[in-house]
A and B are shown apart, each in its own frame.
Chain A
Amino acid sequence: MGQQLGIVVLIDIPAAVESNSLAGNIWLVDNGGWDGSTGEGSPDLVCAIDVTDAQLDPGNAVLNWIPIGIGTIPINIPQTFFLYDDDRRALAQRPLPALHQGIFPVRIRNLVGDEVNIKHPGHLLKEAPRADPQMLLSAQGFVDPGTARFKRTGESRVAQPGDQDLVYYPDPAILRIHGEALDAGVIYPAQYGSPEMFSRGLYWSASVNPNLLGLYRYTIEIALYYSRRDADGRVVDDWVILSHDAWIKISTGAPRNGFPAVTLDLVSNDAGAQGA
């Protein structure tokens, strides 16, 4: 099983959009600190990949990129959180069999034989949930009063707790990964689809060629989405595509065993210097 590395790309979206640059507005963190990754929490991340046991185990190391906007809604929040009140009420309704008991059997069993209470199904909400007045959907977003109201009152206001129609910045999306590491055939990135909530359906992932050691640069192209007003005062969606460089360091240098005082000649620690 190859090493799995997650690379979280954090972006201050409003600041990056405003300055049309990722410089100073992007930070990268990976979970390879134990393996020698450097620059975590800074814009200049070097991911260390240890391919020492690639000969023993053909499973390649895998990189995963997860772009996040700082101040967007936490990524673990299920998508149902974004439903409007109408949809919530619809979800909280009794299912049809419970409303028409003469037609449908009231007591049913599921596939594994457990009795299912269709009058009060466990997975449905007991009542229509109300929006938490304390809940802040986003940080410095502005409440969009909508086109009609905007034209009448001519004002927008700062976001407040309990606001529902908050304009927020969607999470950034990676469009492409290119650069030296790809030209040299070191990593093979692609976008994959996943039903997992965590990745919101799509994520970029790359397998690493364990035969090329050294330090390689790659470039991520990131799309940032935002809303703005056009000349007529209408709210329109727009995006800007910005790129950022990061590095990976592939080495076989991991003298990690139970005998730290013992050094083996076949385990060398200088692979990082080869490419640098």
Chain B
Amino acid sequence: MARAARSAETAAKPAPKPMPAPKPGSVRQATNVMALVDVVGALGSGTLARSLFLFDNNRGAGSTGHGTGSLSTVAQQDDVVVWTTMALECEAFARLQLVEIDSAYAEYVALDAGAFSETPEVYWLATILKPLPVDGVPYRLSYRLGSADVPYRAVVESRLVPPPVAVAPPIPAQPDEPALDPSQEDAK
């Protein structure tokens, strides 16, 4: 009876929203960081060193480090970065436990976590609050693997970085060099 009453109560009240919810309309772009975890490999070796493979879908904007344990994801103000997890073996359990960011960077990112509705599938979410520092915001991922009672922490850190600044090298002026005429070009 109490249970029915409680469910009626929750049905009446809208679910409380987590604090750093991005305001609708304010998201510029959402980037996915996908972690592929070799759970058996990590449990066997006791480390994520060779068992964590990170990917994102923002390589076009300059992200680097795909397929390694240290990814640099390009993100700008008002972007949202979503971390999802996939286990290499479909039977194995892997869940992102923590996205560890030093509190010194609290002004740049707001972190949040949740689960895809009606599933136990966890995602983590970072909202970029202001343009990122030049060196980026380092973070460290920790995973729950199998039935191990301690989380496995990535051995290297990954980063959220600002878009690379395109520096076009100045073309040196060479007034003495004669322009090639078509016949010379053919000879080459």
Query: B-contacting residues of A (Cβ < 8 Å)?
Result: 6, 8, 10, 12, 14-15, 18, 24-25, 27, 29-31, 33-34, 40-42, 68, 70-71, 73-78, 80-81, 125-127, 129-136, 138-140, 158-162, 196, 198-199
Contacts and interface: CB of A to CB of B under 8 A. Distances in A.
Interface residues of B, number: 50
Interface string B128-165: 00000000000000000000000000000000000000
Contacts of B36: 8, 10, 29
A81 B32 CA distance: 18
Given A29-B67, A127-B7, A135 B32 contact: no
Given A31-B40, A70-B32, A136 B80 contact: yes
B38 A31 contact: yes
Contacts, number: 142
B34 A129 contact: no
A34 B89 CA distance: 14
A29 B59 CA distance: 18
Interface stretch (B50-58, B99-107, B167-175, B177-185): B50-58
A14 B55 CA distance: 14
Interface string B99-128: 000000000000010101111010101000
A70 B34 contact: yes
B31 interface: yes
B57 A12 contact: yes
A68 B57 contact: no
B116 A74 contact: yes
Contact of B7 (A27, A70, A80, A126): A126
B16 interface: no
Given A12-B57, A81-B119, A130-B15, 5 more contacts: A8-B36, A132-B117, A139-B30, A159-B27, A161-B30
Contact of A139 (B32, B66, B86, B118): B32
A77 B121 CA distance: 7
Nearest to A19: B60
A134 B67 contact: no
A29 B88 contact: yes
Contact of B28 (A10, A29, A70, A158): A158
A218 to B, nearest CB: 20
Contacts of B119: 76-78, 81
Interface centre among B31, B55, B58, B119 (most CB of A within 10 A): B55
Interface centre among A10, A25, A136, A196 (most CB of B within 10 A): A136
